Structure 1
Amino acid sequence: MHLTRFRVNSARPGARRLLSSPQSLHAAVMSSFPTVLPSDSDCPRVLWRVDHNARAEVFLYVVSPTRPDMTHLVEQAGWPAAATDPETPGWQSRPYTPFLDKLTAGTVWAFRLTANPIHFARRKDGEPTKRTAHQTSHHQQRWLIERQERSGFRIIEKPPERRLLPHGTTHQGHAHHGDQYELTVRDRRDLAFTKGSATKEAVRLVTVTYDGVLEVTDPAALRRTLTQGLGKAKAYGCGLMTLAPAATTQGRA
């Protein structure tokens, strides 16, 4: 496995076109692997995510089974002249497996995840359930909390003295997690685009980014989460969780 970071030159027209179309960016990411053909439906899972840290600081992260070649992305959305040096091709890629193998239960990490939090609901009795996006930050947060155990981690809870909401606060009859955990939900994006050049199938997604602090509870399950993704819409920049050292991390990998 490899983890790759590509800095996007947001001043270039090609970059703006890619950032405005998850379908185009997915195709560009998959074109980074010369052995993967567009018609190959059994290709290995490739996860990607765009982080908009600031207007001029946009990064593309990719987790993939093999090392990518992003020359075409440099030409479209990078700094081609600066990438002429073979030592600095315009992206950084490193083996991911050594880090994954060192994950141990009880260690604490900061994490980031962009996801498509959904549920299945019906508008009235007798109708089939329909995939529906969670609309509020409360429900979006609960979506992740409900998946933490089977995904191999536990989101750290805030100490009581740091909580702004009193213990036992409820929202529409449900326990409200808004201030219980070291977790924020931000950068909501409502995406609408067409899928495929022939069918022109309409796709609508709601994505959000989670920032928080977690404790590893099941290293094997967390490795699966980090390499296979979490939730739906993985082809469109969702599902990729990354870890970074936290102030309370017990070790380094």
Structure 2
Amino acid sequence: MYLSRLPLNTASRAFRRDFADVQHMHRTLMSVLPEVVNGEPARREHALLWRLDPAETGYVLLVQTRDRPAWDRLPDGYLAGEAQARSMEGALEAIAPGRALAVRLTANPTRIVRDPAAPKEVRGKRVPLRDPEEQLGWLARKGEQHGFVVPAGADGGMAVTISPCPPMVGYKGEGTGRNKITISAVRYDGRLVVTDAAAFTDAVRSGIGRAKAYGCGMLSLAPIAPA
């Protein structure tokens, strides 16, 4: 696994197009990866996850992939500096039960709302969770699923802060068949403790939650210095 850090040129026309349309961003990132010929979903096969973070001079794009990407395939002028890529294997091997880590996660917390009068076979509508307590509950449930817990903070609540993100918009399809994508994402910053090393490692590799192709789901981790 590789984690790449890309300083972005906000004056680049190609970047401005991708910034305005997450589907275009997805296509741009897929373009630097080899073609998948085994019939598997390409994003999943490459384990592609990404997140756009604000920086002092614009934005930094963090990209996680199974193999080292060919960043020289990006459009001319897309980057404001050199792309940096490093292996994640050492960090993954250090994951162990009981280990505390600092975490950042941009995620798309949702739930399904069903019409009680509708037949059971009719699928409900997926809607974003907008209440902070519900967003924290979503993260706690993901922890149960993916081998981590969020400890209590100094105030007795979960040791994580939630920041709303601007709506993420994109368009799938062409012409009159285009469908608008709107993602209501939030950013979690805080601490977690690993409870199941294998499940948590899988979550780091694969991401958590929905909208993984569109900038959500990547767990960024850092060690916590001893007090």
TM-score bin, normalised by smaller chain: 0.7 to 0.9
**Contact 1:108-1:248 at 8 Å conserved across structures:** no
Distance 2:108 2:132 in 1: 12
Q: How is 1:76-87 mapped onto 2 (pairs within 5 angstroms)?
A: 76-79=77-80
Q: Once the two structures are superposed, what CA deviation does each residue of 1:117-155 show, in whole Å capped at 9, x if it has no partner?
A: 010012553264111111222211211111112211111
Are 2:18 and 1:18 aligned?
Answer: yes
| Structure 1 residues 109-188: aligned runs within 5 Å | 109-126=101-118, 128=122, 129-158=124-153, 162-163=154-155, 180-188=157-165
Whichever structure has more helix as a proportion of its residues is 2
Q: Distance in 2 between matches of 1:38 and 1:10?
A: 34
What per-residue deviation string (whole Å, max 9, x for no partner) do you get for residues 21-67 of structure 1?
Answer: 1101111111111x22599543312111111244x242111111110
Determine the C-alpha separation between the residues in 1 that align with 2:168 and 2:62.
19
- Look up the match of 1:190: 167
Identify the residue that residue 4 of structure 1 maps to in structure 2: 4
Q: Distance in 2 between matches of 1:76 and 1:156?
A: 43
Q: What is the correspondence of 1:5-84 to structure 2 with a 5 Å cutoff?
A: 5-33=5-33, 35-36=34-35, 41-43=40-42, 44=45, 45-54=47-56, 56-73=57-74, 75-79=76-80
Q: Does 1:201 align with 2:201?
A: no
SS in 1 for 2:145: coil
Partner of 2:219: 241
Return the match for 1:230 from 200, 208, 219: 208
Q: How many Å apart are 1:204 and its aligned residue?
A: 2.0
Distance (whole Å) between structure 2 residues aligned to residue 48 and residue 117 of structure 1:
17
In structure 1, runs of 5+ residues without a counterpart are: 83-89, 164-178
Q: Following TM superposition, where does structure 1 have runs of at least 4 consecutive aligned residues deviating by more than 6 angstroms?
A: none
Cα distance change of structure 1 residues 74 and 248 upon mapping to structure 2, 3 Å threshold: farther
Q: TM-score, normalised by structure 1?
A: 0.79
Shift in CA distance, 188/58, structure 1 to aligned 2, threshold 3 Å: same
Instruction: Find the aligned partners of 2:26 and 2:137 in 1 and give their Cα distance.
Output: 28
Amino acid at match of 1:8: L
- Please report how far the alpha carbon of residue 98 of structure 1 lies from its aligned counterpart in structure 2 after TM superposition: 2.2
8 Å Cα contact 2:165-2:187 kept in structure 1:
yes
For residues 17 and 242 of structure 1, the distance between their equivalents in structure 2, rounded to whole angstroms, comes to: 26
Q: CA deviation at 1:97?
A: 1.6
Letter in 1 for 2:20: S
Amino acid at match of 1:75: D
- Asked whether the 8 Å contact 1:52–1:59 carries over to 2, the reply is yes
Residue identity (%): 30
Give the aligned length. Answer: 220
Larger radius of gyration: 1
Partners of 1:138 and 1:98 in 2: CA distance: 35
Compute the displacement of 1:108 (Å). 1.1
Distance 2:152 2:59 in 1: 30
